[in-house]
Structure 1
């Protein structure tokens, strides 16, 4: 869906004034599970809420316009989005995926491959030359890209990977949850599918779970439509309403959180107790130039490492950063990937991915930057005291 509207306008205006019944400014919530047909030869476009519902369609139109895609499926979680896309694969198809992707996605792909749903290989998708060679020789059915990666913040060269994949007929799927379409639009680079967890920045208030799959063309969307409907993956009306409401302020929230993240990253990078800081916005990040070239911002996720024996004191010592799963809300969170989000990978895969015992991931919120830095400073002081 091509558009000349600025993303801020898309987010603020989608669905506004569309209520033909009572003239409500904001779209009402349609909680009905079923819809009346005027007659056998006069079918309502809405039939059953699992198949279609007005709130889901409104959110889907907004997301498709933001991504520059043909159409979007709105589903009930980020994992549902990944599950939906994996149903494009057949038993003999090969999936290439990042060796350091989100832990639950890694576990799902591995489990489905072990059941014979498709063939699977986890690769270093950030080594562009090696990926070009792998694509040319293995000719996979699908390349799954996560950029930046969760939680070590590696950046894949999407503009370089897509042509190499297209040359051998490979579908390219990009998970850009950390970026949102405001910072990275993979369909513009030729990818076939952009997916995200709308739980995170799109909703932005940590009170809804959801996901989205945006397709570059309608044929692909229609193929996925069968699976979304048949598997019951589609999001409910209330979740769609809440996500749409939260998304309206995304440009403001993301800009503030991103500014905070840069300040936090610079603080951590200079702290003696921090062994490594992972944030593509830092000039010495190995993929800084790549991120700068393909993104319009660096996002608000920062990971850092401390000594393994000190990690618990730091994780439990923060006062503003809440120790919790997830990310992308207005509030700041701290996460220990090895024991939380990436536990399902197992120790061997964690070690390969760089998910060490001492690694912590921050979702930087919209609080005052100086307060967030002061919180980390006092928590790291506990770390130094422990040492």
Structure 2
């Protein structure tokens, strides 16, 4: 098995795939190749690297590792400077007049990219509830090139049937893009259900320590990978070697972190469901979740993200996020530390005035891996 880890278990691949010992020194950890350019023996004759915008050995190791985790030996990954950098580069493959069917529950930055940026260049999009495929199919066009979804969604934690949406997309000649940031490849692998492109903000669970920003695209089709790689190099939204190394280091502990995240999130979900000040809890691990059975079928666990609606409306929601002591009031998610936020004025502020504007009573939690009891006590005091 030495050197070929694609048949190994997930935990083994997270540590070893794409990361052999350095042949020059024997270093076990992939070196940080902090270089912008590479010596050539003669014009066009080199060791596979010319310029670090195009390729960098540290970045290559990250891409090989994530490709293995998402799809095995037949998958191809490309790393980017941010999740939105990955999205933008993928969308450079579209042309004016092309159409995207976009899930009606997406990260605010994704909606902003479509509504405020790409629309200026003739890229059209419609919003659809992709848990209702009969109605969603009615919004497909002959010009629909991509169907775009998150599952679980941000911030409502809806779970969408990837295989069914893939069938709908492919029947119409479209590609399916799945943002897998909330689940991570440890809990869900969309390529196995028919997705064409998997997207990650690697800033989140893959990095896992709130110390690096990055994005990733994973594809099974090499022709598509090569096309997007051209745009990656041409547009240049690539990560530096140190961020690539930090995210790769984070991935090594992804399995044990995800198990701890979801253990805490499930305990908090049960606590909040019983609290008199909470109207509704959105967490796929709860039997009350409308897609709980689908989550059990499609995922290997339920993750660390949870949202809830307070009975006291906006004032109460804002008061709760201001009162926590262990949960840090901050944007982002997926780190070892627990975060709390008010989406309507933070991560999803760009949805204000749109058809998918945030409920003013919504609070989102990124549940970390601290002591379960400490997290429960913190929420208990914050809720009063």
TM-score strictly above 0.5:
yes
**Cα shift at 1:122:** 1.2
**Cα shift at 1:15:** 4.6
Q: Distance in 2 between matches of 1:41 and 1:317?
A: 60
Q: Contact (CA 8 Å) 1:89, 1:117: kept in 2 or not? A: no
- Could you list the per-position Cα deviations for residues 334-354 of structure 1 after superposition, in whole angstroms to 9, with x for gaps in the alignment? 010000000011233343xxx
**Cα shift at 1:92:** 1.7
Q: 2:102 aligns with which of 77, 94, 97?
A: 97
Q: Contact (CA 8 Å) 2:5, 2:16: kept in 1 or not? A: no
Match of 1:322 in 2: 328
**Cα shift at 1:84:** 1.3
- Is 1:291 paired with 2:262? no
- Could you list the per-position Cα deviations for residues 43-80 of structure 1 after superposition, in whole angstroms to 9, with x for gaps in the alignment? 33100000000000000000101110521110011111
Match of 1:129 in 2: 134
- Is 1:276 paired with 2:280? yes
Q: Distance in 2 between matches of 1:121 and 1:133?
A: 11
The two structures have a TM-score, normalised by structure 1, of 0.94
Match of 2:81 in 1: 76
- Could you list the per-position Cα deviations for residues 98-146 of structure 1 after superposition, in whole angstroms to 9, with x for gaps in the alignment? 12210011011112343134111111122122223434x5561110011
Where do 1:42-121 residues align within 5 Å? 42-68=45-71, 69-121=74-126
Q: Contact (CA 8 Å) 2:260, 2:369: kept in 1 or not? A: yes
Q: Contact (CA 8 Å) 2:320, 2:383: kept in 1 or not? A: yes
**Range moving further from structure 2, 50-59 or 75-84:** 75-84
Match of 1:197 in 2: 201
Q: Distance in 2 between matches of 1:184 and 1:294?
A: 7
**Range moving further from structure 2, 151-160 or 105-114:** 105-114
Q: Contact (CA 8 Å) 1:200, 1:328: kept in 2 or not? A: yes
Over 3 Å counting, the alpha-carbon distance change for 1:37 and 1:318 in structure 2 is same
**Cα shift at 1:89:** 1.1
Structure 2 residue matching 1:154: 3-state secondary structure: coil
Match of 1:176 in 2: 180
Q: Contact (CA 8 Å) 1:183, 1:298: kept in 2 or not? A: yes
Q: Distance in 2 between matches of 1:139 and 1:158?
A: 21
Q: 1:340 aligns with which of 338, 346, 349?
A: 346
Q: Distance in 2 between matches of 1:360 and 1:370?
A: 20
Q: Distance in 2 between matches of 1:333 and 1:41?
A: 49
- Is 1:370 paired with 2:365? no
Q: Distance in 1 between matches of 2:285 and 2:45?
A: 56
Structure 1 residue matching 2:293: 3-state secondary structure: helix
Structure 1 residue matching 2:90: 3-state secondary structure: helix
Over 3 Å counting, the alpha-carbon distance change for 1:270 and 1:75 in structure 2 is same
Match of 1:261 in 2: 265
The two structures have a TM-score, normalised by structure 2, of 0.95
- Could you list the per-position Cα deviations for residues 202-246 of structure 1 after superposition, in whole angstroms to 9, with x for gaps in the alignment? 010000000100011110011001111111111110000111111
Where do 1:149-164 residues align within 5 Å? 149-164=153-168
Pairs aligned (count): 377
- Could you list the per-position Cα deviations for residues 344-372 of structure 1 after superposition, in whole angstroms to 9, with x for gaps in the alignment? 11233343xxx211111000000111110
Q: Contact (CA 8 Å) 2:19, 2:61: kept in 1 or not? A: no
Structure 2 residue matching 1:331: 3-state secondary structure: coil
Q: Contact (CA 8 Å) 1:113, 1:120: kept in 2 or not? A: no
Q: Contact (CA 8 Å) 2:108, 2:349: kept in 1 or not? A: yes
Q: 1:11 aligns with which of 10, 14, 26?
A: 14
Match of 1:331 in 2: 337
Q: Which runs of 5+ in 2 are unaligned?
A: none
Q: Distance in 2 between matches of 1:113 and 1:56?
A: 28
- Is 1:229 paired with 2:227? no
